[in-house]
Amino acid sequence: MFVFGSSLVDNGNNNFLPNSTAKADFLPYGIDFPHGPSGRFTNGKNVIDILCRLLKLPLLPIFSDPSTKGCKVVHGVNFASASSGILDDTGFVSRQVITLNQQIKNFEEVTVPELEKETGNNGSREELLSNYLFVVGTGGNDYSFNYFLRNPNVSLQAFTANLTNSLSLQLKKLYSLGARKFVLMSINPLGCYPMVKPTSEGKCIEALNQAATLFNNGLKSLIDVSNTDMPSSNLVFVNSYKIMEDIIKNPTSKGFRDADNPCCEVVPTAVFRGSGVLCKKDGNTCVDRNAHVFFDGLHPTEAVNIQIATKAFTSYLQTEVYPINVNQLAKL
């Protein structure tokens, strides 16, 4: 599995970026993770870790770690970088990120040659890579930390069309390098993040959720045209928006008690009207983390990640995964 995207799928690449402010290499992040804080933006495992377990893969190494070479790349590599987006300028608030374009470049120029060397592959790259899953989870930051922060003089529809088009070109680039199996993660209900809600019991911000829905509809439509654009490829759309929305609307039915507040003590920010984004270093956390939907002002708890990954892997509901699930995709 190769992973591209932002903090929802980042396993610690930003730990190696000296100037980045988007890091989770300190407690209480990782409080429930076997190795403690690792750069994962949650209390325990993220969606990628759980998908790896379901696919019987080891935890993926991160690209930024200098030791990620040789036999370590054979099961896959995680390239994702917190605070990055589809657009190159989206990471500006965090000072230093690895953009999606750079993530793909890192895969092409460093990891693929390393993998060819390690496997002794003399055939086509398509043969080499056709059994790997390419997971892409990005787009939310392009809205939360770009469009809605900058209020550019462009309509939401035009901005979204540009995003979808850019992502489509990035997927085609991966396809041209030999990728054939794609897992596209929807963006989550941006308007329900604690960081944007003015009060802890407040309603979700509709304008932000509408933006997310607009993008997700565009992302899903990429799958419908992929047969023409990328012959013999298979794409799966994981609707984490719907999975999370179902939990937020009726938390108790899914085993949760709090869908409004961050579990950790967050650092207040003047940028958003809500709670703040990241956990305070060595700050307090809620006791029952499995009962919370959000660990900080933006990222879900491990308990939610388990629901998203499990449904991505096993669900037969097309409202949750489309057109097939990740387990079916892996077996193709």
Asked if 243 contacts 251 with a C-beta cutoff of 8 angstroms, the reply is: no
Q: What is the C-alpha R_g of the chain?
A: 19
Q: Is 155 a catalytic residue?
A: no
Asked if 193 contacts 294 with a C-beta cutoff of 8 angstroms, the reply is: yes
- Catalytic hit among 6, 7, 94, 166: 7
The Cα–Cα gap between 186 and 188 comes to 6
Q: Count CA atoms closer than 13 A to 314's CA, side-chain side.
A: 8
Q: Is 299 a catalytic residue?
A: yes
* DSSP class per residue in 294-313: ESSSSPBPHHHHHHHHHHHH
- Catalytic hit among 49, 233, 240, 299: 299
Q: Specify the DSSP element, H or E, that contains 281.
A: none
Q: Which amino acid is at 277?
A: V
Cis peptide before 323 (omega within 30 of 0): yes
Asked if 266 contacts 276 with a C-beta cutoff of 8 angstroms, the reply is: yes
Asked if 137 contacts 47 with a C-beta cutoff of 8 angstroms, the reply is: yes
Q: Is 7 a catalytic residue?
A: yes
Residues belonging to the active site: 7, 296, 299
